[in-house]
Structure 1
Amino acid sequence: MPTDFDLSIPQIVLAALAASVLVVAVLAGSSSSAALSPYNDDWDGASDFRALASERGEVVLAHETGAYDSGAADGTVAFVLSPDSGYASSELVGVSRFVRNGGTLVVASDSDSHANELLGVLGASARLDGRPLRDPRSNYRTPAMPVASRVPNASLRAGSFAGLRTGASDAADSVTLNHGTAVEPNGATVVYNTSGYAYLDADRNGRLGPSENLTSAPVVTAERLGAGRVVVVSDSSAFIDAMVEEGRNRAFVAALLSGHDRVLLDYSHAAGLPPLVVALLVVRESAWLTLAAGVAVVGILGVWSRRPDLLSAATATLSRQWQRASGGGIVGGFNGEIGERSEGPAVGIRPTRDQLVAHLERRHPDWDPERVERVAAALHRRRDR
């Protein structure tokens, strides 16, 4: 059936506006400005970290802890970066099962609240101190960014026990923190230490006080837990783009990823995943939602293939509504009024000069008769061209 797809200028403008809104919505829904977000390309995002992880194998973005049970624990490393809230008891069951079945869990934070709560419930020994760590001697640009060195013969593999694979990248020499804290090992293996000139800034004044002592502070520990292990890093900022670009931290991240075929990024208790990404994950994880989405797409394509004229009609309707909402211009407004009073569409109607005068008088009662006549004459001449 032949269809007239000729579009008027308002329809073209409307289509362009709709396309722009769609593009902006997709971009906004698929990106994030949250710190440590894998979809944030700014300095405080973790897009470089996600890219490094994808080079190692499958990357799983977890918006809920059920993802820990979605694959084999052995050969998987999971990252929890600065959780904003505590894990519920039911959620901790899955995380604990993941570690004890052979998974590696990396917990990174400069705070001692929710991260320590997670470590305690899991049964790990290490704890985060929470006080700012500074090192005036060994640092990157400022004492608030200590450079910690690997302890000789220490390994992120926590003793390289059975079931955990080692590799050359486990020999990252150092790691740089960015306003981090220290780790209290409590029996866990210390893998990275600051120099002996570091101190915990208890009063947070940026200076070594009389009650603050110089010490070599642990910043990374590893310990065995069941068949798996837990690695604690005293600063989640070690994983942001600005820090991963720094050579030492890239090697450190590579060391954590080494020997694993699957990487799970746990954002179940932290901002970072854009709404569109979460929506896609929810649909993908639900067989019923996936089926419903597929049926909807097939249905829309089927209707359009049988009735392509519906697209033209819908576009014309939206165009008229847009004209009315935005004012639509004087002639557009006139056609809208004619369309409302008549049974047929207003497209193509050529108003007479008297009709234009009457319309202008109704729409602009504050105009004097001379101005109304002048504008009506100009519009009538334009319509006759």
Structure 2
Amino acid sequence: MSLRSWLRDGDGVNWPAVLLLTLALVVCGTTLVAASTSSSAFDPYNPAWDGTDDFRDVIETDEDVEGELVRETERYEEVPANETTAIIIAPEETYETEDAARVRQFVEDGGTVVVLENVEPNANDLLDDVGADARTDGRLVLDQRNYEHGPAMPIATAVANHSRTAGIEQLSLNYATAVEPNNATVLVATSDYAHLGETADAELDDEAVLDSYPVATTEAVGDGEVVVVGDPSIAINVMYGEPDNAAFLQRQYAEDEQVLFDVSHTADLPPLAGALLTLRNWPALQALVGLLAIATVIGTTRRPPGATLERIRLRLSRAQGEGGRSGERGRLSDTERAAALRESHPDWDEERIQRVITALNRSRSKRSD
């Protein structure tokens, strides 16, 4: 039975079937969305305001670089380090000894690592293991004069003349922290009216120190470079388009040919996204899936299954009965069968109709034997 005939009954539209099909489509659509998206903050498959879906999409569609999501740090050992930038946003877990060693070797071999973090300690642990000097402070940067929507969203306009800030005039921050440069070079800093606070509503009291606080630094480690940004929020969807966050982030990998979006120590990816990444990274699995798909297509199109032949035989028998024939002499000819099949299956081509007739004749011949 075709979908069209199933959706119609003798008097017109088969509304129960239509409603059932609609419900099935809604359920399938909802399941697909749930399996392909995430609700975790900073997740590259989170399309909500706090996800980094927009940033990921820009990297993957950039024709000048090859973007790749990395779930295992072994990937750092496989790419050409001096042509690659790795981006790490707000890691939720500590990079253990082997993982940190791979990142460090990648940097020492000429790779660039961009770390974005504000309040959690995992990034500082990684910076220590990699051999970088810069550290994030952990307290919030508040600016009582240069801000957007409140002091906790300062606008950092002190931009250094550096290749990593070419064309950048400011960063629009959102609950950022200061970066202690130590021996690193400051790329971007706040205005002179900023201070540090434990909370977003911390008051400007006598103990507050008004100063210009660094929020982005860069430093050489081995043959590579480590960039530290005290605000992972510049990469989230709601802030990515604010001046000049997108331009700054894209500038960090502008000189390289490959970008690794490191999600090895963040929340688990959505099931469908994880499956696609696994399929992409395993050529043997790609070949297996391809063979299964081809076998499925061949199995459903080249030879109708027995159950289908039985249904066709039943229809042809009914057509024979309606025509008043009975017995061997009243058997439908191949021409009559072809006409009946064309009427009941208008979507079938002539080749398929002839294959079905041949199969029916072969089946009848076996029964006669």
TM-score (norm 2): 0.73
SS at match of 2:152: strand
CA–CA separation in structure 2 for the residues paired with 1:48 and 1:145: 20
* Structure 1 stretch displaced more, 11-20 or 29-38: 11-20
CA–CA separation in structure 2 for the residues paired with 1:151 and 1:306: 67
Asked whether 1:190 is paired with 2:183, we answer: no
Query: Shift in Å at residue 132 of structure 1?
Result: 1.1
CA–CA separation in structure 1 for the residues paired with 2:2 and 2:54: 50
Partner AA of 1:189 in structure 2:
T
| Residues 207-238 of structure 1: CA deviation (Å, up to 9, x unaligned) | 12333211211100000011110000001001
Is contact 1:65–1:268 with CA below 8 Å preserved after alignment? yes
Query: Shift in Å at residue 305 of structure 1?
Result: 2.1
| Residues 238-291 of structure 1: CA deviation (Å, up to 9, x unaligned) | 111221211221222232232122221111111373221111111221233223
In structure 2, what is the equivalent of residue 357 of structure 1? none
CA–CA separation in structure 2 for the residues paired with 1:254 and 1:311: 58
SS at match of 1:128: strand
CA–CA separation in structure 2 for the residues paired with 1:82 and 1:66: 20
Partner AA of 2:97 in structure 1:
S
| Unmatched tracts of structure 1, length 5 or more | 157-168, 314-385
Is contact 1:73–1:101 with CA below 8 Å preserved after alignment? yes
In structure 2, what is the equivalent of residue 297 of structure 1? 293
1:110 to 118, 124, 149: 118
CA–CA separation in structure 2 for the residues paired with 1:76 and 1:36: 22
Asked whether 1:51 is paired with 2:57, we answer: yes
Q: 1:310 to 1:226 in 2, by over 3 A?
A: farther
Is contact 2:140–2:200 with CA below 8 Å preserved after alignment? yes
SS at match of 2:203: coil
2:223 to 207, 227, 249: 227
CA–CA separation in structure 2 for the residues paired with 1:23 and 1:70: 37
* Structure 1 stretch displaced more, 279-288 or 10-19: 10-19
Q: 1:33 to 1:308 in 2, by over 3 A?
A: farther
In structure 1, what is the equivalent of residue 356 of structure 2? none
Is contact 1:145–1:179 with CA below 8 Å preserved after alignment? yes
Query: Shift in Å at residue 295 of structure 1?
Result: 2.8
Matches within 5 A, 1:170-189: 170-189=166-185
Asked whether 1:88 is paired with 2:80, we answer: no
Is contact 1:63–1:273 with CA below 8 Å preserved after alignment? no
Asked whether 1:211 is paired with 2:234, we answer: no
CA–CA separation in structure 2 for the residues paired with 1:184 and 1:202: 16
* Structure 1 stretch displaced more, 4-13 or 56-65: 4-13
Asked whether 1:119 is paired with 2:127, we answer: yes
* Structure 1 stretch displaced more, 62-71 or 237-246: 62-71
* Structure 1 stretch displaced more, 232-241 or 242-251: 242-251
Is contact 1:85–1:270 with CA below 8 Å preserved after alignment? yes
CA–CA separation in structure 2 for the residues paired with 1:199 and 1:59: 37
CA–CA separation in structure 1 for the residues paired with 2:28 and 2:81: 39
In structure 1, what is the equivalent of residue 257 of structure 2? 261
SS at match of 1:231: strand
CA–CA separation in structure 2 for the residues paired with 1:284 and 1:115: 29
User: Which structure is higher in RCO with an 8 Å CA cutoff and minimum separation 6?
Assistant: 1
Query: Shift in Å at residue 14 of structure 1?
Result: 5.3
Query: Shift in Å at residue 51 of structure 1?
Result: 3.3
Asked whether 1:148 is paired with 2:156, we answer: yes
CA–CA separation in structure 2 for the residues paired with 1:224 and 1:310: 70
SS at match of 1:40: coil
CA–CA separation in structure 2 for the residues paired with 1:87 and 1:181: 21
SS at match of 1:24: helix
TM-score (norm 1): 0.70
| Unmatched tracts of structure 2, length 5 or more | 8-13, 310-369
Asked whether 1:97 is paired with 2:105, we answer: yes
Q: 1:310 to 1:130 in 2, by over 3 A?
A: farther
Is contact 1:79–1:106 with CA below 8 Å preserved after alignment? yes
Asked whether 1:66 is paired with 2:74, we answer: yes
| Residues 16-68 of structure 1: CA deviation (Å, up to 9, x unaligned) | 54444333222222222222223333222222222332324211011222232
In structure 2, what is the equivalent of residue 281 of structure 1? 277
SS at match of 1:247: coil
| Residues 109-144 of structure 1: CA deviation (Å, up to 9, x unaligned) | 112410101111111100011011101122223110
| Residues 323-357 of structure 1: CA deviation (Å, up to 9, x unaligned) | xxxxxxxxxxxxxxxxxxxxxxxxxxxxxxxxxxx
Question: Over aligned residue pairs, what C-alpha RMSD do you find?
Answer: 2.6
In structure 1, what is the equivalent of residue 336 of structure 2? none
Is contact 1:39–1:272 with CA below 8 Å preserved after alignment? no
In structure 2, what is the equivalent of residue 7 of structure 1? 6
Matches within 5 A, 1:9-24: 16-24=22-30
1:42 to 36, 45, 48: 48
Query: Shift in Å at residue 81 of structure 1?
Result: 0.5
CA–CA separation in structure 2 for the residues paired with 1:311 and 1:84: 54
Query: Identity over aligned residues, as a percent?
Result: 38
1:135 to 143, 151, 157: 143
In structure 2, what is the equivalent of residue 377 of structure 1? none
SS at match of 2:225: strand
CA–CA separation in structure 1 for the residues paired with 2:181 and 2:146: 21
In structure 1, what is the equivalent of residue 33 of structure 2? 27
Partner AA of 1:172 in structure 2:
I
Is contact 1:150–1:172 with CA below 8 Å preserved after alignment? no
| Residues 142-185 of structure 1: CA deviation (Å, up to 9, x unaligned) | 110111124443443xxxxxxxxxxxx62412212101100111
Partner AA of 1:52 in structure 2:
V
